[in-house]
Structure 1
Amino acid sequence: MWHDIRWMNITANALFGMVLLALMASGVWWVIQRPMFTLAAIRVEAMHTEPLRHVDALTIRNAAIPKIRGNFFTANLDAVRAAFESVPWVRRASVQREWPNKLTVRLEEHAVLGTWGEDGRLISVRGDVFTANLAEAEEDAELISLSGPDGSEKEVLAQYQLFQQWFSRIHLAPEAVRYSNRYAWSVRLNNGMQVELGRVQDGTTLESRVNQLMTVYPQLIASLQDSIQSVDMRYPNGLALKSSHGAIGLKKQTKASGKT
């Protein structure tokens, strides 16, 4: 009998605890559903010192706000962050709750560098590819053109930066860099000249070919002026040049045996 009373007390205590927890949960749920915790405002500001240039209230109202669910307590901050990062020009967002019914969202915009590929996408100075209004991008900077296989964005950006350094020695700059599906590189410079550099054989291939071009470039300019259209540096012992006057082949010592 004593054992029965003991187990009855344990069972009663357990049931009482469960009822108490249920009442507490119901109370908490009732409190957090009060109208005072309905989101009344979402404050948006720049993540860094630079002001936001492209993200405005209308864009946010159309692209982000409809995706936000819940109130001050129940809103999923990861979902809110994802909603804002889906807005054109937004690179990164961070979200914080502000008692009792507000959210603070800080945004970092993409800094555009140029276009990527042939489908109208843009690429940032960090190598992030994104979709936004091209006309707005053209207001920010003089866009260059970069292209390459999917997943090669960071590699193409890094090579573009090297081309900038190398060609600056002859006061030229790349306007377009293309990395083909066959892993061959080509550059269009700001004087309109197209330079074919081919595939990389080792860590010095591209720089060596650029240096070879820069060695003869003053002579080419002296004789051909601004008529050079393209230069093919894929020959191991020379180069092929196309100008408005016709095609020219130049060799260093022996006849080129083929392209690489």
Structure 2
Amino acid sequence: MTAQQITPASKASFIGGLVFFLLVLVLVFVAGWQFSRWVQGQQTAPIAEVRLYGQFMQLDAAELQQQLQQQFVGNFFRVNVDQVQQFLQQQPWVYQVAVRKQWPDTLVVVVTEQQPVAIWNADLLLNNKGELFQAPIAQLQQALPQLHGPDGTEQDALNMFILMQQLLQLHQLSAEQLWLTERFSWRIQLADGLSVQLGRQDTLKRLQRLIDLYPLLQQHKAAAMAEVDLRYDTGIAVRYAEPETKRKA
């Protein structure tokens, strides 16, 4: 068995391969170091923009965006999405929020606003899903019906009001207030101020009876009607407003 001789050519090939390997290691190290520096730089890169989306009627979008800019614009990686959501959920008129980061420097915020459909017991609001929420009633951009009732009956009151309003509007009438008493008796007030007692049973049938008799009742006396009581099986009771001259006397 003869020993293998190392020729000048094989020695040069070995050295060349070793140099190439070392160069690759150096390049990998440099690339890793550069990447590490880039990541560190990105970790301190600020959020440059907040994009706010939604259909706003009650909320001031410009003011809300300014608040977000002041409180949460900063480090991209350190901005806590949960904190942004909690901040927005505490704002009046906000129903739902979605927040996400968009690479490299943007915070995207989508806000769903509360849709108020009625005022409940003078100090709370009902949204279109029958849920109570609190917001400044004075800021309402539109007039809303007022519903009154015991705690926990807001969904029943809203459903009944919708049914009554649909029936009334078929005959060019409208309700603006509804009461549900502790004994579950219904009363409404029409847009012209007429108070209507409907009782606990056959509520919509009794309301239809009022609609049928309304033109006749208006013609019966010159004075305006103040209250109609439909809590009778075979008749109704009507109270007319006192004449102005009598009231002044």
Q: Same fold (TM over 0.5)?
A: yes
Measured in 1, the distance between the counterparts of 2:159 and 2:72 equals 37
SS of structure 2 residue aligned to 1:238: coil
Q: Is the CA contact (8 Å cut-off) linking 2:223 and 2:242 kept in structure 1?
A: no
Letter in 2 for 1:105: V
1:130 offset after TM fit, Å? 2.6
1:88 corresponds to which residue?
Answer: 92
Q: Identify unmatched segments of 5+ residues in structure 2.
A: 1-35, 244-249
The alignment status of 1:214 with 2:211, answered yes or no, reads yes
The alignment status of 1:103 with 2:107, answered yes or no, reads yes
Residue correspondence of structure 1 range 108-257 to structure 2 within 5 A: 108-119=112-123, 121-137=124-140, 140-200=141-201, 205-225=202-222, 227-245=224-242
Q: Is the CA contact (8 Å cut-off) linking 2:117 and 2:144 kept in structure 1?
A: yes
Q: Is the CA contact (8 Å cut-off) linking 1:184 and 1:197 kept in structure 2?
A: yes
**How many residues align structurally?**
206
Measured in 2, the distance between the counterparts of 1:222 and 1:35 equals 79
Measured in 2, the distance between the counterparts of 1:52 and 1:164 equals 24
1:216 offset after TM fit, Å? 2.2
1:165 offset after TM fit, Å? 1.6
From 30, 35, 39, the counterpart of 2:44? 35
Q: Identify unmatched segments of 5+ residues in structure 1.
A: 1-26, 247-260
Seen in structure 2, the aligned counterparts of structure 1 residues 158 and 225 have a Cα distance that, compared at 3 Å, is farther
CA deviation digits over 1:198-242, x for unaligned, max 9?
A: 224xxxx11111122223222211112451111111222322221
CA deviation digits over 1:34-82, x for unaligned, max 9?
A: 312x544432121xxx4555233434555x6788699544544344223
1:194 offset after TM fit, Å? 0.6
1:45 corresponds to which residue?
Answer: 53
**Pairwise CA RMSD:** 3.1
Identity of aligned residues (%): 29
Measured in 2, the distance between the counterparts of 1:32 and 1:88 equals 38
**Which has more radius of gyration?**
2
1:176 offset after TM fit, Å? 0.6
